[in-house]
Structure 1
């Protein structure tokens, strides 16, 4: 769907597409989120879609998953050490993570990053922390305990490029909070995992 620019007469008109969307569903022409708001949004407990290069003549592998992230840190995902996802992450050394708010007004954040560490076996405390973002403490512990701990691996993904859109009409971008590639030396969130690679 294409929106006119904010300066366009079509946007200002009561019968314009943008005006009708704003009245009916609170949808406005998209704006980029500030870096601070991108990180805050990613830190919420969204279901992410992870995409990884699957090699020649294959489209990227994409799969929904749980993850952990705190602003300024790395993204942490957990999977079976024998899974296709684990194999592709090791081979590609990079991935894209997409999270979205699935109801109007829509927002999404896309992060491209490099795999900076994989830890096997995955520490159970970190696996519980990830699960507790999505389930009660009891439910999270039960979900984690279902899996053989020796079969679990953590992948640590360092954000490198950020993309986002916010259809709420509220500008959150500020001059000293630029959009664009992340700084090369980002602080690492202490998940209990040591990122020494």
Structure 2
């Protein structure tokens, strides 16, 4: 904005205001739905856990293969890394148990009273699965996708509050040394 005399005035948010906006954004973007989606069954029939917001958007970090061995050094659910032990190309209880393990590790739990339920998606997807039905081995049947409502755990919400909340009390720093937050979970020491 131009002020009198042709000078420009600039409004800048304080770090506390920026952190509060980021915190509100993190809370608004929390997933509210978990989905187990089966892959094309004739190509192996693997399964993926996806966490989605109420609007249906999914972040890359919230897509977890349930039936594949993870990268070297990454922790995996021992009951969830072999396709043949938890699924026969269909949504089985083993897949749901593996999904629950991953949900807990990510800081989520099932919403009160929620249960996995079939999700049809669009009519074209349902028609495609019906077309595949005669070609599939026994057990590779509907539902190919199931969903459940989820909520963030108290621990996960507390983590967000700590990451985007007020700065913690700092011990006395030596003379000439200062510290201030430069972004969430990051400090600048001068």
Q: Structure 2 length normalisation: TM-score?
A: 0.29
Q: Of the two structures, which has the highest relative contact order with CA contacts closer than 8 Å and spacing of 6 or more?
A: 1
Give the number of the structure whose residues are more often strand, by fraction.
Answer: 1
- Specify the structure having the higher radius of gyration (Cα): 2
Higher helix proportion: 2
